[in-house]
Structure 1
Amino acid sequence: MEQYKIGCRMERLKKMSGSGKSLSKLIKKSGAKLKRGSPDPIVTRLVIDSRRVTPGSLFFALPGLRQDGSAFIDEALRRGAVGVVSSEPRRFGNSKAVFVQADDPRLTLAKVARRFFGKPDKDIDLFGITATNGKTTVSYLAKHFLSLDGVKTGCLGTIGYDLVDRVLPSFRTTPEAHELCELLSQMRDFGCTRAVMEVSSHGIDQLRIAELKFKVGVFLNLTRDHLDYHGDMENYFAVKRRFIDGEIGTVPKKLVLNVDDTYGRRLADEHKEESTITFGTSKQARLRATDIELAPDGATFTLEWDGKRYLVNSPLIGLYNVSNTLAALSMAVLGDVPVEKCIGSLNSFGGIPGRMERVITGQPFEVVVDYAHTGNALENALKMLQEITPGKVKVVFGCGGDRDRGKRVEMTKVSTELADYCWATTDNPRSEVQEQIFDDMREGISDHSKIEFVLDRRRAIELALKSADPGDCVLIAGKGHEPFQEYGDTVVPFDDRKVARELLESMKLGGRI
């Protein structure tokens, strides 16, 4: 329901490119075939949700994991759809609507959307980033770097859709194909000639980016996540590879690959073109970081690139953020932005919401909110905080409902092994019973004396903050920038950063800190 409401808000704000296009032009060379009706009704909107259909809409009945769009064709027709695209032949009764049959309605949607919105990727250099962890940080950094030469650069991802002259709330990391093309079209209307976007595995597999032409494709890493959808790691990797290899469209003109990652090395072994930049700390990397020094307020390292060495002072903490910075610098290089200019601009970089974001109210210990919601991301965060924290590192974390159950064991194991104490709590339980999620998590406990299970997330954060001594660090992990909790079909306002700040202020007023 929340996604539907956000989608409606986006529609109210959107700027349509033209009054409509004829169906015959839209489906030309798309592989879809007109099976019934006039070939030339005027299509004014592309829709996949029958509730959003208005007269003039072309409704795409997409297959789904839980519901099939074909079940909503009658509703779409009642609301005034001029046509339906589906893989299943069906009777339309007395309706005058057009029926278009497509072997793969998702691919047809991608092709039609690109044409409907005037092929915006022809006017915008697309920089696509795919990974399990780090996509948002790299996208923010890359947008920062790619804007330094005065070129308007948009950014689409988990936190929001930044069209430069307008920012919309994000409801998917990678929007559906017609939404994506519309957003790119608006960017073009606002004068953008570059766009950075996060490319999720779901977005690849569900053909949301099909047909788009990317100037640069970026691969950061691959760790366990989404196996409820992909099945196993090789299938997960195969989906990511489809973007890098151009199997769902054109091959990106240039590539950026992380050779510190096992899967990144596999891709690098297959892509040795001069236009590929490999990055990392290993000698195999073309763009390399050496002499790394980590501190509580950032990192310092030497950048080796193109036969030159540069001293880099970054405000981002942790070794994995050194890697993220290398990725963004590689993208800037391929965008012809001078590397010296990028390095010099790091001191003005404003950071990323919910990514190692410090909550400061004058307390004598650190409080950090981070989006870490996989075993690998938690491991990276906890190891990094252990290195820079003089006292103890404590963590509040949870595991989402209706998602890969296998990673719950990993997350709990990592937390109890690396943190000094843990509070396991809720994190978007969705339709699952929280106690079942807790039971799965308990299987990963390595030390029962170091963990406490607390049903209420606010209470868990409160217990962690009250336990902290001067010099300690409390990591509140899992939700990052998210301002809500999901329970069944209900979305409840909840922002870790806001809650932590409120609790810290209350503790100060009560004389406890």
Structure 2
Amino acid sequence: MIQLKDILYKVSIEKVIGDTSMAITNLNFDSRKVALNDVFVAIRGALSDGHQYIEQAQNQGALAIVCEQIPATQISGITYVQVKNSKKALALMASNYYGNPSENLKLVGVTGTNGKTTISTLLYQLFSKAGFKVGLISTVAIKVGEKEYATKLTTPDSISINKYLAEMNHAGVEFCFMEVSSHGIDQHRTSGLTFVGGIFTNLSHDHLDYHHSFAAYRDVKKRFFDELPKEAFALTNADDKNGAIMLQNTKAKTYTYGLKTMTDYKAQILENSFGGLLLKLNGNEIWSKLVGNFNAYNLAAIFGTADLLGLNELENLKLMSSLTAVSGRFQYFISDHKIAAIVDYAHTPDALKNVLETINAIRTKNEELITVVGCGGDRDKTKRPKMGHIASELSTKVILTSDNPRTEDPDEIIEEVVAGVEPQNTKKVIAVTSRRQAIKTACVMAAPNDIILIAGKGHETYQEVNGVRSDFDDMKIVKEFLAQLEK
């Protein structure tokens, strides 16, 4: 059994009432899960304040309460620990509770607006192929070696992160690649973790519903690099103007990658087609099954990271050529009627622009590019007209539809997307609220050699409406409708 004082190591404590030498069982921030002899950490969230549930936690047998404000009435036998920041305290306590598992493997964090999932997942693939035991914490999946767990958040809560890392320690995992979201950084979910490296992909318009300004969003990302230890590496995209900002105050050793400027890890596109990419990486030619400029950046980051982690260059290049696309990231197939269908997670203006520009660079312009796209509800509304503008400007036909409307009216979301469509592009655009019907419409409209892009949900296998998640898989549905056309 671990003592309370052991898990409070490095926590910024303002006041203690009671004994910290007692043995505790579990650590919880959800009062419903508290059991006898547990520690309850009261977190102030966007929708609720954990301090309101202190009494419930006490009634369920909590032995200690960690909070920012000690309740007016204390119960004898329960220890109260007042901290400056409950979220940060929880992360440090979780790390201590599980034996600081991030110190026992090489943990690399990937942050930025686009590319996090692809880079972290492909690094997992690469190091697995190289014969190492590898872990992955990403939007798509959490993997401990070959064992896989479903995930809902890009960056899980700090207790879950440390629990998975501890399991990785037990399984002998040597490397772990982890997506680090702006929400995760801001809410201190990654505090207390020891990273051997950090990768910055790019920064564009996203999550402004949460961060309120682009500068605040950028500065949260920067904080991840500010907190890297001097033994770590910081690898950033030099072609993104925010790449240099990420490195301004970091103590880590700094490296760059890119396509346009002189960098430590330089990629050059020699060929780009639906078949893949022919790249030159630091003077070495490599063929990849991945497609598009954005994947050239991802591959440069992967090449650099593998090098910084000590992988032999020739082995690195050989294994990189065998990497396969990540679920819902420019995932495509060509039907028997020669219609190309692409499913991509692009749900930000920049990501949608990148995908559409990639397709336009490859296609002959004799075929139609039909884009099916929407915007999620209860999220950043300011990006909606931008998505409409980009989709209509860079596609020959657009079907605006529902994404995950959540608690919003899907028709109202579509109207806000339509607001960004320029007058000269209005004839290209139709609205079909039902996403299933929108995909069917795209399939019916498509002729041989046409291209259908279904953007926004990517790997997701559900659609969320008013708190209810129903089965919905873009790739499965487009394959179903195209198969029906071929009968």
| 1:86 equivalenced with 2:64 (yes/no) | no
**Range 355-364 or range 199-208, more displaced:** 355-364
Matching residue's letter, 1:110 = A
5+ residue gaps, structure 1: 1-19
Displacement of 1:84 in angstroms is: 1.6
- 1:33-74, CA deviations, whole angstroms, 9 ceiling, x for partnerless residues? 563333233222111112222223211110111111112222
Matching residue's letter, 1:117 = Y
- 1:399-432, CA deviations, whole angstroms, 9 ceiling, x for partnerless residues? 0111110000111100000011111111111111
| 1:253 equivalenced with 2:232 (yes/no) | yes
Whether the aligned pair in 2 keeps the contact of 1:145 and 1:337 (CA below 8 Å) is: no
**Residue number among 277, 280, 290 corresponding to 2:258 in the alignment:** 280
| Mapped partners of 1:56, 1:505: distance in 2 | 58
Residue in 2 aligned with 1:409? 385
Whether the aligned pair in 1 keeps the contact of 2:294 and 2:354 (CA below 8 Å) is: yes
Whether the aligned pair in 2 keeps the contact of 1:425 and 1:457 (CA below 8 Å) is: yes
Matching residue's letter, 2:354 = N
**Residue number among 165, 186, 195 corresponding to 1:184 in the alignment:** 165
| 1:374 equivalenced with 2:348 (yes/no) | yes
Taking every aligned residue pair, what percent have the same amino acid on both sides? 33
| Mapped partners of 1:230, 1:291: distance in 2 | 35
Residue in 2 aligned with 1:455? 433
Q: Spell out the pairing of 1:88-487 with structure 2 (5 A cutoff).
A: 88-92=69-73, 94=75, 96-246=77-227, 250=229, 253-267=232-246, 275-304=253-282, 309-390=283-364, 391-446=367-422, 447-487=425-465
Displacement of 1:125 in angstroms is: 0.7
Cα gap change, 1:34 to 1:25, in 2 (>3 Å): farther
Cα gap change, 1:39 to 1:268, in 2 (>3 Å): closer
Structure 1 counterpart SS, 2:242: helix
5+ residue gaps, structure 2: none
Displacement of 1:272 in angstroms is: 10
| Mapped partners of 1:443, 1:400: distance in 2 | 16
Matching residue's letter, 2:214 = M
Whether the aligned pair in 2 keeps the contact of 1:465 and 1:504 (CA below 8 Å) is: yes
Whether the aligned pair in 2 keeps the contact of 1:148 and 1:337 (CA below 8 Å) is: no
Cα gap change, 1:231 to 1:313, in 2 (>3 Å): same
TM-score, normalization: structure 2?
0.95
Cα gap change, 1:169 to 1:262, in 2 (>3 Å): same
| Mapped partners of 2:54, 2:147: distance in 1 | 33
Whether the aligned pair in 1 keeps the contact of 2:7 and 2:97 (CA below 8 Å) is: yes
Whether the aligned pair in 2 keeps the contact of 1:359 and 1:497 (CA below 8 Å) is: no
**Range 335-344 or range 402-411, more displaced:** 335-344
- 1:458-501, CA deviations, whole angstroms, 9 ceiling, x for partnerless residues? 00000011111111110000000001111122111111111112
| Mapped partners of 2:50, 2:231: distance in 1 | 32
Whether the aligned pair in 2 keeps the contact of 1:268 and 1:278 (CA below 8 Å) is: no
Matching residue's letter, 1:266 = I
Structure 2 counterpart SS, 1:178: helix
Cα gap change, 1:371 to 1:95, in 2 (>3 Å): farther
Displacement of 1:271 in angstroms is: 6.5
Q: Spell out the pairing of 1:62-77 with structure 2 (5 A cutoff).
A: 62-77=43-58
**Range 351-360 or range 108-117, more displaced:** 351-360
Number of aligned residue pairs: 483
- 1:143-192, CA deviations, whole angstroms, 9 ceiling, x for partnerless residues? 22233442211110100101114211112111111111111111010100
The alignment's C-alpha RMSD in Å is: 1.8
Structure 2 counterpart SS, 1:147: helix
Cα gap change, 1:252 to 1:491, in 2 (>3 Å): farther
Displacement of 1:347 in angstroms is: 3.8
Structure 2 counterpart SS, 1:204: helix
Matching residue's letter, 2:127 = L
TM-score, normalization: structure 1?
0.90
The ranges of structure 1 where at least 4 consecutive aligned residues each deviate by more than 6 angstroms after the TM superposition are: 269-273
Matching residue's letter, 1:25 = D
Whether the aligned pair in 2 keeps the contact of 1:422 and 1:450 (CA below 8 Å) is: yes
